[in-house]
Amino acid sequence: MRIKSLKNNIIIYLLLFSIVPLFIASTFILYNAYNSEKKNIFYKHNQFLTQALDETDTLLNDIEDIGVYLKDRYPIKKHGMVSGLLRVGKNINTVMILNNDGILVDFSTSTKKNNIFIGYDYSNTKYFKAIKNGAKRHWTDVYLSLENHIPSISYSVRIDKDTIAVLIVNLKVLDNFSKRFKSGDGSTMIQIIDKNGIYISNLQKPETVSQRQNIHDTDLFTLYDIGDDSYKQIQFLDEDKKENIAIFGISKKLNWLIVIQENYNFVFKTYYSNLRFIILFAFVLISLSIYFSFKFSKSILRPLDEMSEKMDDVSTGKTVEEIKYNQFTELRLLSTNFLLMQSKLKDREEQNRLKDKQLHESSKMAQMGEMIGNIAHQWRQPLSFISTAASGMKVQKEYSILTDEKFYNYCDQIVEHTHFLSETIDTFRNFIRDNKEIREIILQNEIDNTLKVISSSLSNNYIRLLNKINYDTEIKMLMSMGELSQVIINIINNAKDILLEKKIESPYIEIELYTIDKKVIIAISDNGGGIPSEIIEKVFDPYFTTKHKSQGTGLGLHMSYKIITESLKGKIYVQNTKEGAKFFIELPLEN
C-alpha cells in the first residue's frame, strides 16, 4: 500500500470539491450561453437568407417579365419602346435587339460612353448563340460587357422568329438590394456568388466583383463545395483572415450561392464580454474557495500537526502535559485519549522498570548464589584437609606421637591450604570488582581466569571442560572483561544445567577461541542434544526459559544478548551441532 500524506490528501480533496463543481458549473453555463447565442444568430441569418433568396428570384423574374413585355410589345412599338424601358426597368443597363444573324438592330443603353453601334455583330456571344440554338430564354454567367466594361450578366429571349432581345443587367442592382442586409457593425451581411463561383455582389469587398474573383481561392469555397451544408451554420475565414459566422443557400432560378454572414467577433461581442465577466467571477469564487479550503484544512490540520509533534515528543521520551487548539469534538476526544494513553504507558513503563529491577536483582542473586556455590566447591577440599590436619595433630598429641617434624609438616600444609583459600577469595573478589571496568586485556588469559571460576563446579559434576583456546597469538582487546565473563559463565552454566538435567553420559563443554576476518570468535558447545528447533529463535528473548521457575529467570541469555550486541558491539547466535548446542560470540577486533 502506498503511503500518502493525509495533509496533502485533505488539501487536494478540498480543492477538488470546491473548484471542480464551480468549474463544471461555469463551463456548463458558458457552453449553454454560447449555443443559445449561436442559435439566435442562426435564426436571424436564416430569416435573412429566406428573404434574400425570395427577393433575388423576384428580381430575376422582374427582368424576365420585361422580356415577356418586349415579346408582346416590341414588334409593334419598336425603338421608342426600348429607350422607354430603361427609364422604367432600373435593373437593366442596356437593351439590345438583335436580328437572326446576331446583328444589332436596335438598342438603348444607360452607359455614358457610347461604343456600340447599330450593325455590330454579336453572333459570337453566348447570349445570342444560346437562343440561336433553340433556347427560348437564356441567362449568361458573369462576363466583361463590351458596352460598359464592367462585369455583367444578361438575359436573352426570342421576341419573334427574326428578333432576339438582350437585357444586360446592372449588377449594381444586386448591391442596392444587398445594402438592406446590414449587420450591427455596419457591414453588409450578404454575398452573392454565381454558379461558377464568381462574385456578383459583395459590398464588403466590391473589388471581388469588379475583379471577377472566384471563391475557389477562398476558405468559403471548401464549404460551398460540400453543397449539403446549405442552411447549416458555418464558420469560415474571409480574405482578411477574419472569422465569419454564416449560413448559405442556393437560389432556385440561377443556382446563385447566397451567403448571409457576420463578423464572428462582432456578433459574439456581448457573449465574450459576459464570458470575461463570468470567468472573472469564477476566478474570484475559485480564489475564495482555495482560500477557505486552505483555512479550513489548516484549522483541521493544526491540532493534528500539534498532536503529531506531541507524539514525536513522546517518542523521544518527553512528557506531554496538554494539547491546544482542540475546538473539534473528535479531535478533543482524540487528544484526551492520547493523554490518557500516555499516562497509561507511563504507568506500564514504571511497572516494567520495577519488574526489570526485580528480575535484575533476582538474576544478580542467582549469580551470587552461583558464585558462592563455586567458592564452596573451591573451599571444600582445603577446609577438609585443614580440619583433618588439625584433628590429626590433636590425636597424635594426645597419644604423644606428634613429632616436631610432623607438626611443622601439618602446619606448613595448613598454611599452604589457607593461602589457597585466600587466593580463591582474591580470584572471586577480582572477578566481581572488574565487572564493568574497561581496560586492555589479553583475551586468552581473561577467559582462563573466567574458566577457573567455574571449573570446579563443572569437575564436581563430572563435566569435562575441553579447552580449545588458540594460545599461539595473544589477542589484545580494550574492553570490560567482566561483562564478557558474565556471558561465558552464563552459557557454560546453561550447558551444565542441560547436561545434568538430561543425564548425558560423558558430558563435556568445549570452548574455542580463534580469529577470523578481523573478528574474534568464542564458540561454546556441549553434547547436551541441542535446542529444539521450535524454540531456538526465542532463546535470546526476555523471560524465555525452559527451566523450572525456581531455577531460571529467563533473563540470562537475554542479558547476554544485550551485553554482546549493545555494550560490546558484537553478535551472539546459536546453532545446533550433531552433539548439542553451539553458541557463537563474535567480537570486532577493534575492541
Q: Is 117 among the residues that bind another protein (CB under 8 A)?
A: yes
Select from 137-145, 349-357, 425-433, 530-538 the region that touches another protein (CB under 8 A).
Answer: 137-145
150 vs 402, beta carbon nearer another protein: 150
150 vs 421, which CB is nearer to another protein?
150
Q: Is 226 a binder of another protein (CB under 8 A)?
A: no
Instruction: Report the distance separating Cα 390 and Cα 411, nearest Å.
Output: 9
Binding of another protein by 33 (CB under 8 A): no
Q: Coil, helix or strand for 443?
A: helix
**Contact 138/131 with Cβ under 8 angstroms?**
yes
Q: Does 294 bind another protein (CB under 8 A)?
A: no
Single out the residue of 57, 93, 261 nearest to residue 177, CA to CA: 57
Applying CB under 8 A, which of residues 4, 324, 503, 578 lies at the interface with another protein? Answer: 4
For position 218 contacting another protein by CB under 8 A, the verdict is no
Question: What is the biggest distance separating any 2 CA atoms in the chain, rounded to whole angstroms?
Answer: 202
Any idea how long the chain is? 591
- By CB under 8 A, residue 305 contacts another protein: no
| Helical residues (DSSP H) of 95-197, grouped into ranges | 126-132, 172-178
The vertex-182 CA angle with 177 and 186, nearest 5°, equals: 130
Nearer to another protein, 181 or 256 (CB): 256
Residue 87 interacting with another protein (CB under 8 A): no
Count the residues of the shown chain that bind another protein, applying the rule CB under 8 A.
33
State which of residues 125, 263, 335, 493 lies at the interface with another protein (CB under 8 A). Answer: 125
CB of 102 to another protein, least distance (A): 6
* Residue whose CB is less far from another protein, 143 or 428: 143
Please give the Cα distance from 73 to 70 (Å, whole number).
5
Name 250's Cβ contacts closer than 8 Å, sequence gap at least 6. Answer: 230, 256, 257, 258
Q: Is 210 in the site for another protein (CB under 8 A)?
A: yes
Q: Which of 27, 50, 211, 299 binds another protein (CB under 8 A)?
A: 211
**255 is a site residue for another protein (CB under 8 A):** no
Shortest distance, position 565 Cβ to another protein, whole Å: 37
Least distance to another protein, CB of residue 224, Å = 13
Contact between 300 and another protein by CB under 8 A: the answer reads no
Identity of the residue, 91 or 213, whose beta carbon is nearer to another protein in the bound complex: 213
Q: Quote the CA–CA distance of 363 and 374 in Å, as a whole number.
A: 16
The binder of another protein chosen from 216, 348, 353, 419 (CB under 8 A):
216
**Closer residue to another protein in complex, CB, 12/536:** 12
| CA geometry: angle 119, 124, 127, nearest 5 deg | 95
Which residues are CB-neighbours of 91 under 8 A, at least 6 positions away? 59, 62, 63, 169, 170, 173
* Buried-state track 235-256, b at ≥16 Cβ within 10 A, e below 16: ebebeeeeebbbbbbbbeebeb
User: Applying CB under 8 A, does 67 fall inside the site for another protein?
Assistant: no
Q: Residue written as cell 439590345?
A: 96
Measured from the CB atom, the residue of 103 and 393 that comes closer to another protein is 103
Interface with another protein in residues 142-161 (CB under 8 A): 143-144, 146, 149-150
Residues near 435 by beta carbon (within 8 Å), at least 6 away in sequence: 480, 482, 483, 486
Q: Is 475 helix (H, G, I), strand (E, B) or coil?
A: coil
At residue 438, the 3 state secondary structure works out as strand
Q: Which residue has the cell 471563391?
A: 215
Residue placing its CB nearer to another protein in the complex, 27 or 32: 27
How many Cβ atoms from other residues are within 10 Å of residue 222's Cβ? 13
Q: Least distance (Å) from another protein to the CB of residue 217?
A: 6
- CB of residue 154 to another protein, shortest distance in Å: 12
Of the candidate spans 79-87, 123-131, 248-256, 442-450, the one that interacts with another protein by CB under 8 A turns out to be 123-131
Residue 409 sits in the site that holds another protein (CB under 8 A): no
In the bound state with another protein, the residue whose beta carbon lies nearer, of 49 and 254, is: 254
Applying CB under 8 A, among 76, 124, 161, 473 the residue interacting with another protein is: 124
Burial of 187 (0-12, 13-18, 19+ CB in 10 A): middle
Residue 377: which residues within 8 A CB-CB, separation 6 or more? 456, 457, 460
| Positions that interact with another protein (CB under 8 A) | 4-5, 8, 12, 102-103, 114-117, 119-126, 141, 143-144, 146, 149-150, 196, 207, 210-214, 216-217
